[in-house]
Structure 1
Amino acid sequence: MPYDLPDDLAKLSLLDIAEAVAARRLPPVDQWHPGEVIDSKMRISADGTWYHEGSPIRRSAMIRAFSSLLMHDAADSRYYLVTPQCRQHIDVEDAPFLAVQMEHKDSALAFRLNTDEFVIAGPENPLRAEGDPDCPAIYLAVRHGCEARLNRSTWLELAHWALDRSDDLSVTSMGAHFSLQPK
């Protein structure tokens, strides 16, 4: 089945984005607890490139499929691809997703990920700042303990948007307030 790219984030209303988020049917990886654990021989680099046995995965449809099975286990701080039969460890250099586009819609900040998914920042998907105050890294909660790091252009766009509205480099989305400065 061919993959239809979602519309451009800038052209969508907040309702359209929320409907796209709700329509994405994802596997219930948080409900699966298989006993077998193996190494997937996969890695996600800091730039968002997925690798299998050292070679980049070039098919975006495969990356989208694998990313739907991804979870972070807080108990052992590892990432896994989860199926009903098996948990496969996957190495992640920074964050498994990249936020590559941002739009302000009504009272919300919407992001497009490198997997062409949309995430709306808010209480369920908070933003957090890490790193050095002079060079922060901003992360957006996606699902199952996984986050997206805002790429440089998206971070700069968010910072400019925040500075146009306040002096404290913070943003509000869906009623939740987020500082863009590391603590």
Structure 2
Amino acid sequence: MEPLPDLAALSLPEIVRLVEQRRLPPVDQWNPAHCGDSEMRIARDGTWFHQGSPIGRPAMVRLFSTVLRREPDGGHVLVTPIEKLAIEVEDAPFVATAMKVEGSGNTMRLAFQLNTGDLVTAGEAHPLRFAGEADAPRPYLHVRGGLEALVARPVYYELADLALAGDGPVPGVWSDGVFFPVAAA
């Protein structure tokens, strides 16, 4: 597998190009019978485990993440054309570990790098949402097919700084033409 991109060194147009080039398996089109449990778990901090031990090879985690799917019942599975295995997800299957900001006001764009190396630009197709209590919000970014990334605390603080620097009546951030209020729902 190729090395992870350096988010800080990329411009937003370069990030968009990389995202468009990435071809993911069509897991939403695969419907094999459920085969059992994968004996895998994704911890709240984004660490992947197999049979209780952390998966130490980032390339394996990246590979498994490409066949991860969220089921209509809210559960998560690893799916291929011939098998479907349950995987436990403690919170969100991904963690947004870095953010890049370009522009300002309603022309701002926010790109996030996930713990798997994936790049996601917040916007209509990838909304930000805030769960939890008002004094302890948990921000999430929609990645794909119902899968979300928990925004890591340091990245959340960057979002909060942007939101508080705005001049609107409600603290929030713009990305790709969409306004996201920074408050727990």
TM-score bracket, normalised by the shorter chain, equals over 0.9
Structure 1: 5+ residue stretches without partners: none
For 1:32, the equivalent position in structure 2 comes to: 30
For 2:155, the equivalent position in structure 1 comes to: 154
For 1:4, the equivalent position in structure 2 comes to: 3
In structure 2, C-alpha distance between the alignment counterparts of 1:61 and 1:127, rounded to whole Å: 27
User: In the alignment, is residue 104 of structure 1 matched against residue 101 of structure 2?
Assistant: yes
What is the count of residue pairs matched by the alignment? Answer: 180
For 1:15, the equivalent position in structure 2 comes to: 13
Of residues 121-130 and 30-39 in structure 1, the stretch that sits farther from structure 2 once superposed is 30-39
CA displacement, residues 11-57 of structure 1 (integer Å, 9 cap, x when unaligned): 21111000011111110001111123311000000011100011110
For 2:49, the equivalent position in structure 1 comes to: 51
Q: Identical aligned pairs, as a percentage?
A: 48
For 1:89, the equivalent position in structure 2 comes to: 86
Contact in 2 for aligned 1:138/1:149 (Cα 8 Å): yes
In structure 2, C-alpha distance between the alignment counterparts of 1:62 and 1:166, rounded to whole Å: 44
For 2:61, the equivalent position in structure 1 comes to: 63
Contact in 1 for aligned 2:162/2:172 (Cα 8 Å): no
Structure 2: 5+ residue stretches without partners: none
Q: 2:178 aligns with which of 150, 172, 176?
A: 176
- TM-score, length basis structure 1: 0.94
For 2:136, the equivalent position in structure 1 comes to: 135
In structure 2, C-alpha distance between the alignment counterparts of 1:105 and 1:19, rounded to whole Å: 16
Contact in 1 for aligned 2:98/2:114 (Cα 8 Å): yes
